[in-house]
Copies of this chain bind each other. A is one copy, B any other.
Amino acid sequence: MPEPTDQHPATPPTEPHPGGPAPARGLRGQKLGDRRVRVERPQSQYFRYTPSGALQARPKAHEELGTPRRIAADLRHVLFGRPLASAEEIGERLSKKKALAIFSSDAISSSAYATEEILRVLVVAGATALVFSLEVAIAIAILLAVVSTSYRQIGYAYPNGGGAYAVAKENLGRFASLAAGGALLVDYILTVAVSTSSAVAQITSALPELLAWTVPMGVLFIVIMTLGNLRGIRESGNIFAAPTYLFVGSALLMVGLGTFRVVFEGAGAPYPDPVPGAPDPLQAVTILLVLRAFASGSVALTGVEAVANGVPAFKPPEPRNAATTLTVMAILLAVLFVGITYVAGAYGIVPSEDVTVVAEVAGTVFGEDSLGFYLFQTFTALILILAANTSFNAFPRLAALLAEDNFFPRRFAYRGDRLAYTAGIIVLATIAALLLVGFGGDTHALIPLYSVGVFMAFTLSQTGLVRHWLRDRVKGWRWRLGINAVGATMTAIVLVVVLITKAPASLLVAIIIPAMVAIMWFIHHEYETAAKELHLDRSRVFGKSEKRTRVIVPVPTISRAVVRSVQFGRALSEDVRAVHITIDAASAEQLRKDWEHMLPGVPLVIIETPYRSLVTPFLHYLDVMAPTPPDTITVVVLPEYVPRHWWDRFLHNQKAEQIGEALVGRHNTVVAAVPYGAERKSAAETRDMG
């Protein structure tokens, strides 16, 4: 492989290609826009030869040709930055501190809404039922401990990075991997929708006058993230570190301060004790309600998988560092989640429509309208936006992985100028924005859709690990298997709980994911069919073509464009036929006379039609009157109008284009487009028409 010397040309400009004419040097006045072939510049500005004899394109060879394209490219570069070479991808290795900031924003930010989800379920059974929130939160924290312990194993099993899709693919087969992939895609989309709407809710909790702008603000955030990611925001730890640590710090402060006051100052006004004579809360609170609260609160676990997916980004020893980071993250999340739930309970905070629970806690602890409150709300909104942004990395990467495996349209695997997976970013942003608008920016309404995908991915990846340890019996495989088996079982149980207690929204997702699997399967099948059709035995040798060519030129009138097309046809073949379709027999006769004089030797067929359509009679003429023999290729030569100005499209009709489109797919028929219009005209050109 030749060394990429493109950016720092060490070798002198090479000689021009032996095949091309020696260009005059130094004349730079020549505009490229007019597309003349004469080039007055050394080729070495554009290309150089690699030792293996290939050409290497230099940056100049990527400049757009033609003024409109050049302007569009300039605009793109201003908006999104200059194009990046493939080699410019950042492969930064992360310290644990940076990694924690990058990979944990999604998980830790869940603490901003998970408590509220529990309270919102319990409040249905009356304010007294809220006393159970702490127990539910502790149960979820235990689940978190199990899941994160289970996930620690992924780093050891897949040090090269293993999302649920990769793990399931290797261990559970194609079907399970697609289910995991579908679940993750849904998860990522909902991460954007939920985190963004929660970020907006934090802002409107502090500034209620913005409530009317909930949806536009959410969409605006998504648009900003989209543009940023199209530009190619790098996973630079520095950007991410600040808000994550600011949130963690201020949230810990809030929990600590709140707890201190409750315990040592006896502050707070906890949820009312059951009134004597009123029904016992234990009776009002059914098992189903508690399970539903548990299922709702389990949204706190979303994002836990991020560290495991990012193992290769860690500094060595990768698995160990990743495991440590995961544990720290889980502990932080558990402390914040349980702590916020405890303080909320101690102060008797009841969920309301316009202010989030976490904002009420902050308001109570730091004081309404205090600087601390506003700062905390800012940090919370920021970490939620960062959490949403992680999906802008994860979704396009997974889509690209699926596309490379032929389960997704191939364009998801292409990276744009800035190395960003354009298609994935745009699809993610569009669906998330539609969800946000459709649910009116209501976090609580979106949550039931969220947990299904998350726990499905959890279950599949943990089950995959169980299979992995069974096959690959490394040292300590037994206890590793045990941990993952417990993890898989628990997450599977939670998945079922979520499906049942969060119906019907959860069932919707349970339908969407299989539908996605079916679609991906179908896409794969289509690609396989196409590949089979295009496949060629590499041992075959193709000699010179034995085919004859026959040229047919549709002729609306005798014009420069038509003569050009005919002359091109004559350069290709001896067998050139012109076809004129008309509704006016008299004018056709005049045309024939002119034709026979001007283009002797080219037969002209005149077709009269009583209708005004030209395309179908032409096609039928080809089929019926001029069928192509098997050893022949029919070349239909069409003049292609080259618009000079944007308005030309309105003035010049596209009959030739219509014929061209109708010919697409005709057996043994090739459409050749001969341009006319915006090409530069000169006296010489008229002469060389012949």
Contact = CB atoms under 8 A, between A and B. Distances in A.
Given A542-B689, A585-B1, A536 B549 contact: no
A37 interface: yes
B608 A56 contact: yes
B624 A39 contact: yes
A200 to B, nearest CB: 32
A598 B667 contact: no
A605, A609, A653 — which one has the most chain B CB atoms within 10 A of its CB? A609
7 contacts: A43-B624, A55-B606, A55-B607, A527-B651, A546-B690, A548-B571, A671-B673
B665 A610 contact: no
B409 A651 contact: yes
B52 A589 contact: yes
Contacts of A624: 20, 39, 41, 43, 46-47, 61
A567 B547 contact: yes
A546 to B, nearest CB: 6
B669 A670 contact: no
Contacts of A366: none
Given A624-B47, A665-B678, A671-B672, A410 B598 contact: no
Interface stretch (A93-101, A162-170, A473-481, A627-635): A627-635
Interface in A401-459: 409-411, 414-417
A6 interface: yes
B648 A526 contact: yes
Given A534-B561, A609-B62, A623 B666 contact: no
Q: Closest 10 CB pairs between A and B?
A: A85-B610, A642-B665, A54-B606, A534-B559, A545-B570, A57-B617, A61-B620, A672-B672, A57-B609, A545-B571
Nearest to A549: B571
A85 B6 CA distance: 64
A171 to B, nearest CB: 28
B651 A410 contact: yes
A652 B403 CA distance: 12
A676 interface: yes
Interface in A531-572: 533-536, 538-549, 558-561, 563, 566-568, 570-572
B2 A39 contact: no
A11 interface: no
Contacts of A352: none
Contacts of A646: none
Contact of A35 (B544, B635, B665): B665
A679 B665 contact: yes
A658 to B, nearest CB: 11
A35 B666 contact: yes
Given A620-B57, A671-B673, A688-B631, A541 B600 contact: yes
A568 B545 contact: yes
Contacts of A666: 35, 675
A430 to B, nearest CB: 14
A535 B559 contact: yes
Given A2-B608, A54-B608, 9 more contacts: A37-B667, A43-B624, A57-B611, A417-B613, A539-B597, A549-B572, A665-B677, A665-B679, A672-B672
Contact of A635 (B46, B64, B547, B672): B672
Contact of A535 (B21, B560, B690): B560
A54, A621, A662 — which one has the most chain B CB atoms within 10 A of its CB? A54
Interface string A503-544: 000000000000000000001001100100111101111111
A626 B20 contact: yes
